[in-house]
Amino acid sequence: SGSLSKPNLSPAQWSALVFVLLTSEKELDVFDLKKYSRSEEGLLRLLPVVKASRAVLLSGCLVTEEGCASLVSALESNPSHLRELDLSNNDLKDSGVELLSAGLGNPHCKLETLRLSGCLVTEEGCASLVSALRSNPSHLRELDLSYNHPGDSGVRLLSAGLDDPHCRLEKL
């Protein structure tokens, strides 16, 4: 399926797109926002599709803290289908990661893979993630924090978090 060439869809067109995507398959395997939009607006308008998908690819889609706040609802929805979330190369910063971490700690969240490469995460964001990893139960198996700036203390926090019995992380 090709990319939509018109960058600004009307609200009715967005609704139609959501309807088509949601009715085409019972459960979407992989939803790649870049096929439809490279914007946070696209993410917000297609959130119902995100909630129905197993893997959501949002790498380089200009997602910020606002988008993270919306994604938390997908992480906390019951039932949550989302198993993989790629937010690499977005300006999430620590504030966005803190919001996501709250969603990760929710009992309905079944996320197994979280990619946050190049998201401007520092020690503060690492502390939020460690708190989420310690939550019971944490399903997260893979966490990509490459190309961020955790600092020595952030790395120490993550290392200590890996030793927690509730943490099921296999790949960091």
Q: CA nearest 117: which of 52, 172, 35?
A: 172
Q: Tens digit of pLDDT for each residue in 49-98? A: 888 889 999 999 999 998 998 898 888 887 788 899 999 999 999 999 99
Q: What is the DSSP letter of 108?
A: T
Residue 121: which domain range?
24-162
> pTM of the predicted model, to two decimals?
0.86
Q: CA nearest 171: which of 162, 81, 163?
A: 162
pLDDT at 57: 93
**56: in domain:** yes
**19: in domain:** no
| Domain CATH for 130 | 3.80.10.10
**18: in domain:** no
pLDDT band per the 50, 70, 90 thresholds, residue 5: very low
Spatial contact of 129 and 159, defined as CB atoms under 8 Å apart: no
* Count of structural domains, the chain: 1
Neighbours of 106 (CB within 10 A): 17
Spatial contact of 115 and 88, defined as CB atoms under 8 Å apart: yes
Amino acid 20 reads V
Spatial contact of 67 and 93, defined as CB atoms under 8 Å apart: no
Distance of alpha carbon 109 from alpha carbon 91, whole angstroms: 23
| Sheet with strand 84-86: strands edge to edge | 28-32, 53-57, 84-86, 113-115, 142-144
pLDDT at 154 > cutoff 80: yes
What value does the mean pLDDT of the chain take? 85
3-state SS class at 115: strand
Distance of alpha carbon 19 from alpha carbon 48, whole angstroms: 9
**171: in domain:** no
In degrees and rounded to multiples of 5, residue 30 shows phi and psi of -125, 125
Region label for 11, one of left (φ > 0), alpha (ψ between -120 and 50) or beta (otherwise): alpha
Question: In the structure encoding, which two tokens stand for residue 41, read together?
Answer: 């607006």
**134: in domain:** yes
pLDDT at 27: 60
**3: in domain:** no
Which residues does residue 56 pair with via DSSP β-bridges, in sequence order? 31, 85
**167: in domain:** no
**13: in domain:** no
